[in-house]
Amino acid sequence: MAWPKSTKTIRIRKGNLFSSDCPTRIILDDVTSRWGSLVLVLLHKDGSYRFSELAYLIGGVSEKMLAQTLRALEQDGFVLRTVHATKPPKVEYSLTEMGSEVAERMLALAAYIESNVGRVMAHRAKMAQKTA
């Protein structure tokens, strides 16, 4: 689903994730995408990064996907892109207030997943034996 052409006329007090035409679906996709969630968690932990630093620290992300992810999170109001007037230009990415709020929730999920990876992998192995 794409954003409406003009978002100036849209006034939404609260979204409905279960409605197929609600913009909350797009926002949810941006925040919970593989790269979106990692960008949010990393920026929350360490403040701000340049593009090349993010690409290095987030293993496996292509430059194209990182650029798309950062652009989407910036459009949603979660990431701030700051261009410093230096030669060469220096661009840094950091979280906005909304970005920090959503990142705190992502951190809790990330911590749970990291703490329980052994249990999940054991369950996957058990399920694989059942289907073999």
- Report pLDDT digits (tens) over 27-66: 999 999 999 999 999 999 989 999 999 999 999 999 999 9
Residue range 24-131 forms a domain whose CATH class is mainly alpha
Residue 9 reports pLDDT greater than 80: no
Residue 11 reports pLDDT greater than 70: no
Integer CA distances (angstroms), 127 to 112, 118, 119, 123, 132, in order: 21, 14, 12, 6, 9
Burial of 79 (0-12, 13-18, 19+ CB in 10 A): buried
Would you list the domain boundaries of the chain? 24-131
pLDDT of res. 46: 86
Question: What's this model's pTM, rounded to 2 decimal places?
Answer: 0.83
**How large is the average pLDDT for residues 14-38?**
92
Tell me the Cα Rg of the chain: 18
Q: How confident is the model at residue 81 (pLDDT cuts 50, 70, 90)?
A: very high
